[in-house]
Amino acid sequence: MAREVAAVILAAGQGSRMRSDLPKVLHRLGGVPLMAHAMAAARVLEPAHLVLVAGHGAEAVSAAAAKLDPEAKIALQSEQKGTGHAVAQALPLLDGFEGRVLVLYGDTPFIAPQTLEELAGHSADIVVLGFEAADPGRYGRLVVGAEGLEKIVEWKDADAATRQIALCNSGVLAADAGLLRELVGRLGNDNAAGEYYLTDVVGLAREAGRRVDVVTCDEAETLGINTRIELAAAEAAFQSRARAAAMEDGVTLTDPATVWFALDTAVGRDAIIGPNVVFGPGVTIESGAEILPFCHLEGCHVSAGATVGPFARLRPGAELGGDVHVGNFVEVKNSVLHEGAKVGHLTYLGDAEIGEGTNIGAGTVTCNYDGVMKHRTVIGARAFIGSDTMLVAPVTVGDRAVTGSGSVITEDVPADALALGRSRQVTRPGLGARIMESLRAQKKERG
């Protein structure tokens, strides 16, 4: 970009039509808060500043923003007095900045990075994002003349001829920082709502002889979320795009309609994703890996050649090396499985490191939690963990070591050793049959 860019994301509204105690911008779309989509689009421009304007539920919004981008700045709009007032709260955090400011909305998730680049790079002093609406309805209309954008007319103020205009206002705009400070400072609230409207800067700029213009985008990019119904429609649109993008990039989705992506899901070429797979945030699947049906993955990394599932769960911190196999009803959390490790079925691995080529038998559990703290289990390379082994952490099992089935391992096991941690079996001939006979007699007596 020729000029530095700053992004201001308006996220202060309550969203009363959502019928929710949760701030609107924290409702999830693609596995992440709504506002994360606007933040992600803005980050493509590598902004010098990213400011989020919080109001309703400001503490929760601020905490979520910090997780999404620790460098994001928060401006507080304690009273919601309109979009112009919201931008005014953000401007002090841009003191000294003289580049281009983009004003975005936390509840408008689909504006493409390319559209933002066009806004940021436009030569006009102010540029407004517009769209041709199939049904303009009650949108504000953009009146364009020979010298660019002449004015924005709200539907309620528009005459019949103006209402015939299909070019509508999205609310998104870009302006030079110095000019934006000047014009926002001159906004008035002499209107029925008593609010300060950001759209009024267009008229003020024209009066000052400044150039104002329009950039247009597809209507779908400007979709705003105001109700649960609109949120569901947006989720469907997001998933449709994510599935198409994955397949265009060379990923096989055997039943695309049943695969659910998050905003940041990354799947490599020639990976195969089976039916009914759900990706939460923070998942990377390398080329050639396969995720079998009915798996749930979040915050994990799956290397090339690995297979997961069916019916497996990978939780945050799961790292699967090349050619690792995680089978059915296996849960992995905060654990590293090195190349070629195999965990076939019915196993929980939490806070563990599993060495190269090691086999974990069915029913194995790393007992990682003592009720207060988590502890780590380390298993070396090419070890064999017998079925139904309980590994009571902290504990280490050495390379090529073996544990007997049904063992409870409470002490470290040296390399090449066999560890047995179970009671000696006692067999009483005939006693089983006598016990069963007695129980059946008792049952018969009781009727």
Coil, strand, or helix at residue 443? helix
Instruction: Write down the catalytic residue from 122, 296, 345, 375.
Output: 345
Report the alpha-carbon distance of residue 198 to residue 251 in Å, rounded.
43
- Residue 273 CA: distances (Å) to CA of 112, 118, 260, 277: 26, 35, 10, 7
Report the alpha-carbon distance of residue 105 to residue 304 in Å, rounded.
38
Residue of 68, 73, 105 lying closest to 89 (CA atoms): 73
> Could you tell me whether strands 167-176 and 342-350 are parallel, antiparallel, or unpaired per DSSP bridges?
unpaired
- Residue 395 CA: distances (Å) to CA of 150, 244, 333, 392: 73, 46, 17, 6
The b-or-e profile of 308-330 (16+ CB within 10 A means b, else e) is bbbbbbbbebbbbbbbbbbbbeb
Q: Is 85 a catalytic residue?
A: no
Report the alpha-carbon distance of residue 63 to residue 325 in Å, rounded.
37
Report the alpha-carbon distance of residue 441 to residue 297 in Å, rounded.
51
Report the alpha-carbon distance of residue 56 to residue 369 in Å, rounded.
38
Query: Locate tokens 């209507």: which residue?
Result: 219
Q: Which amino acid is residue 105, in one-letter code?
A: Y
What are 58's two structure tokens?
């400001």
Report the alpha-carbon distance of residue 387 to residue 208 in Å, rounded.
79
What are 286's two structure tokens?
């390398």
Q: What totals of helices (H) and strands (E) does the chain contain, helices first?
A: 9, 35
Q: Which amino acid is residue 311, in one-letter code?
A: F
User: What is the helix (H) or strand (E) element at residue 243, kind and residue range?
Assistant: helix 228-248
User: What is the helix (H) or strand (E) element at residue 152, kind and residue range?
Assistant: strand 148-153
Identify the bridge partners of residue 367 per DSSP, sorted by sequence position: 392
What does DSSP assign to residue 199? T
What is the CB neighbour count within 10 angstroms for residue 441?
10
Are residues 55 and 251 in contact, defined by beta-carbon separation less than 8 angstroms?
no
Are residues 134 and 219 in contact, defined by beta-carbon separation less than 8 angstroms?
yes
> Could you tell me whether strands 141-145 and 148-153 are parallel, antiparallel, or unpaired per DSSP bridges?
antiparallel
Which active-site residues does the annotation give? Answer: 345
